[in-house]
Amino acid sequence: MNSHISPSSPGLAAILSRFLFAFLLTGTGGMLPAQRVEKIPAVAPAAATVQWQSLSAQHAYGFPEVKPNKKGTLTLDEAGLTFTGKTFNTTLPRESITAVNAGNDRVELWGTGGRLLRMAIPQGGGLAAAAVMHHRVDMLTVEFRDTHGGAHSAVFYLPATEADKALTHFTVTPVTDTTTAVRGCDQNPVDPHSVLVKMPEWKSSEVPAAYRALVYEHIIDRMKAVKDVGSVYREGELVHGMACPHYTVAVAIEGYKKGNQVVRAATGPLGMFMSPTQMRFAVSYSDAMSGSVKTEEVKATVRSESESTTVADMAAKKLAKQYDHLLKEQAKVATASASPHVQ
């Protein structure tokens, strides 16, 4: 006799009930309201705390990817030092900064027009006008290393006293010397026409940090513009296994005399010949291939509105000209050596 369970039997009803309940729990039936999911809003990363800021900074020279004389906001926070303007936004990582210096220079409130006006004031009246038209501008010098260990310096003009305030917010930490000593090229090949520019030495003269920095940066740029020059290496940039530089340029600042724009402006036309900024350098060029060392003297004298940058570039231009002459002499010697000797 066949067993038969009718749909109305208690056993079948229980089975169907349990199946329907399980089906609804899976959510595939769409018969139960969906479970509400609370969305937790994403928490934006906390903005870096500004430790120091100058809203009226002007780039003098040396800051990466920013042209000289650009104006903007200079900000220091935990991440680094950032210079922001209309067309740029560049940050130096905090760990790359090795030293910071503050110094001041004097600039003319009315620029070149003001200087010409003072020269036109007769009988000493220019001195009073000069005292009004001049105002102090701080110079902030930041020394840092690039990703290859190369030494860099950047200089900014800031409103009075702001550079001194900035120094108090930089953590003072020992600077690790990452400079690689060049001990000859007997093991590594020589990179022809290349040059290593060492940081200027200033033990013989008291020179503001900004001037030292500007001299170095201008030398690097002027060297890169020399015709037929090879690679231009910064101090600290050479690493183990790299080719040795053909030449090493060492610059010693032997004399420095700061000019006085107020005195020049107050003495009329004769002021153009008085109280200039003067710098004197001893420059040595070491040839890794021949072992020879050539020493030259470079002098720079300027009377201008931006004396620090002008005197630095003038010295760099003369030094690069000497190096260009050195390369030409080397080329002549190489050509003469390669020519067959006539018996």
Contact, 182 vs 244, CB < 8 A? yes
Q: What is the mean pLDDT of residues 82-86?
A: 96
Q: Give the span between the Cα atoms of 213 and 142, in whole angstroms.
A: 9
Is 20 part of a structural domain of the chain? no
Query: What is the reported pLDDT for 266?
Result: 45
Is 184 part of a structural domain of the chain? yes
Is 124 part of a structural domain of the chain? yes
The structure's pTM equals 0.71
Is 29 part of a structural domain of the chain? no
Mean pLDDT score across all residues of the chain: 75
Q: For the segment 229-279, what is each residue's pLDDT rounded down to a tens digit?
A: 989 999 988 766 678 899 999 999 888 887 655 444 444 444 444 557 788
Is 139 part of a structural domain of the chain? yes
Contact, 209 vs 103, CB < 8 A? yes
* Residue 337: Cβ-neighbour burial (10 angstroms; 0-12, 13-18, 19+): exposed
Confidence category of residue 291, pLDDT binned at 50, 70, 90: confident
- In which order are the strands placed within the sheet that holds 293-302? 232-234, 190-197, 244-257, 277-287, 293-302
Dig out the tokens for 146 from the structure. Answer: 């690039």
Q: Give the span between the Cα atoms of 188 and 247, in whole angstroms.
A: 14
Pick from 192, 243, 195: which is nearest to 221 by CA?
195
Q: How big is the CA angle at 142 (ends 138 and 148), to the nearest 5 degrees?
A: 165
Report the number of distinct structural domains present in the chain: 1
Is 5 part of a structural domain of the chain? no
Is 45 part of a structural domain of the chain? no
Q: β-strands 293-302, 89-93: how paired?
A: unpaired
Domain span holding position 268: 52-337
Is 243 part of a structural domain of the chain? yes
Kindly give the interhelix angle for 307-338 and 209-224, rounded to the nearest 10 degrees.
Answer: 40
| C-alpha distance across the termini of the chain, in Å | 133
Q: For the segment 164-207, what is each residue's pLDDT rounded down to a tens digit?
A: 888 888 865 444 454 445 444 557 788 888 999 999 988 767 78
